[in-house]
Structure 1
Amino acid sequence: MATIRSAKVEDIPALAELLSVAFYRDPVMCHLWPNDKQRAARMPIYFAANLRHHHLPAGGVDVAEEGTTIVGIAVWDPPGHSAQSTMGLIRSLPALLRALGTRLPAAARLRRTLDAAHPHTPHWYMCLLATKPELQTTGVARTLLAYGLERADAAGEPTYGAATRAVMTPFYRSLGFRDQGDPIDLDSTGSQLWPLWRDARSADS
């Protein structure tokens, strides 16, 4: 049975590696790095920079552990923290430039597309949810997501996320999410995201 705790700075290398493995074939990551070898080499740098300079300081990163082994991660941005601060961007820029290289314009276009679709109502943003591949379908992701939803519910705050595969939307709907408008087109190849919204629930609902 996995236990949930807040992520710490010393977890970053393991978390970046877990995210890189889990999202290696993810459509968004393939959009950012079409080349397989380049994607494998650069994703850990990218995730580590974002965790260190954006997500962890905001305080919304949860990890699932079995014993002392990290088996899953949920990256939430609390209300008001979905956009990276100017200082955080400056600090992360050298690593992001190293990770993205010539793909920086594609990443900037993707960022603009996601920002344009992002709701303005204050909410918890479900940014990333990942489990070690060998433990997928064992309930780790559901436990992590439910933990974050309970936190948002306790504060009376809604949640938002975007599934990168249509097949994942039933999983989110089973935990109270609903479709939030039309799918988001990422590029001319037909890659899409499916935006999802969940209103806060009271203890007796």
Structure 2
Amino acid sequence: MGVAIRTADESDRELVVRLLDEAFQDDPVSNWVFPGEEYLRTTHHRLMAAFTEIVLAEGRIDVTEDGSACALWLTVPADAHDADDDGPAQLRAAVDPGNERVELIGRLTAGIHPEGRAHAYLWMIGVSPDRQGEGLGTALIQHVLDRCDRDGLPAYLEASNARSRALYERLGFAATGHPLDLPYDGPSMWPMWREPRTHQV
């Protein structure tokens, strides 16, 4: 039986923020940005809210019909360049002004983002902790990858842990060069790219 998926709108904002906040409590990158259990618990949701705001305005958020999982996507044009160099600084100011890592993670990921080809960018995917392992993340990603294949569009993401990297590899993504090793003894992130698959008729 397939997973019912719909496109989120403004009314889903709180749902998406909650899903992302819960799903990334154990994520190594989230724990690096907000070190300490209490700090993460009380502040992480602000960053997830900012991300949700950006993608609702500029991209697309898919959610499962039962509200247990979501995926945030942006379509990046071939001639895209980071015109808003102040974006990471503005994000830090809005989310957690005293935390340089909020700004740093934005600058570092922007620095490894591929240029020159239009692509779909999977910014984040979150599955409710009590529903992980049921294939919901796979269904959400494949939903967009099928469209990418029809349109001849590559896809890109950064994997933030080994488990998600293995999932993305199963869906046709491959690591592109060296991982991004976050400073201050931080974890690694793996930039991953997927060429569209052509279907023979």
TM-score category (smaller protein): 0.7 to 0.9
Q: Which residue matches 2:145?
A: 149
Deviations 1:6-49 (A, max 9, x none): 11111011110110010012111111110222221222222122
Contact 1:49 1:96 in 2 (8 A): no
TM-score by length of 1: 0.86
Partner-residue secondary structure (3-state), 1:172? helix
Tell me which residue corresponds to 2:155: 159
> Contact conserved, 2:59 with 2:72, CA < 8 A, in 1?
no
- Number of the residue aligned with 1:119: 114
Q: Distance in 1 between matches of 2:10 and 2:167?
A: 30
Work out whether 1:32 is the aligned partner of 2:28: no
Deviation at 1:96, TM superposition (A): 5.2
Pairwise CA distance, 1:110: 1.8
Q: Distance in 2 between matches of 1:188 and 1:178?
A: 27
Deviation readout 1:56-97 (Å, 9 max, x if unpaired): 12232111122xxx01001111123988875xx59xx5x853
- 2:102 maps to a residue whose letter is A
**AA aligned opposite 1:129:** I
Q: Is the 8 A contact 2:28 2:160 kept in 1?
A: yes
Q: Which moved more, 1:29-38 or 1:142-151?
A: 29-38
Structure 1 position 152, deviation (Å): 1.6
Please report the TM-score for the alignment, with normalisation by the length of structure 2. Answer: 0.87
Asked if 1:50 corresponds to 2:35, the answer is no
Which amino acid in structure 2 is aligned with residue 198 of structure 1?
A: R
* Percent identity between the two aligned chains: 27
Q: 1:93-138 CA distances to partner (integer Å, 9 max, x unpaired)?
A: 5x853532311x2222222211111110321111111111111111
Structure 1 residue 179 displacement after superposition: 1.5
1:79 to 76, 79, 84: 76
SS of 1:13's equivalent? helix
C-alpha displacement of 1:190: 4.4
CA–CA distance in structure 1, aligned partners of residues 76 and 150 of structure 2? 14
1:97 corresponds in structure 2 to 93
Q: Which runs of 5 or more structure 1 residues have no equivalent in the other structure?
A: none
Structure 2 CA distance for aligned equivalents of residues 83 and 106 of structure 1 = 22
Aligned AA (2:23): A
Q: Structure 2: any 5+ residue segments left out of the alignment?
A: none
RMSD: 2.5
> What one-letter code is carried by the residue in structure 1 that aligns with 2:109?
L
How many residue pairs get aligned? The number is 197
Residue 5 of structure 2: aligned partner: 4
The AA in structure 2 aligned to 1:195 is P
Q: Could you tell me which residue of structure 1 aligns to residue 196 of structure 2?
A: 200
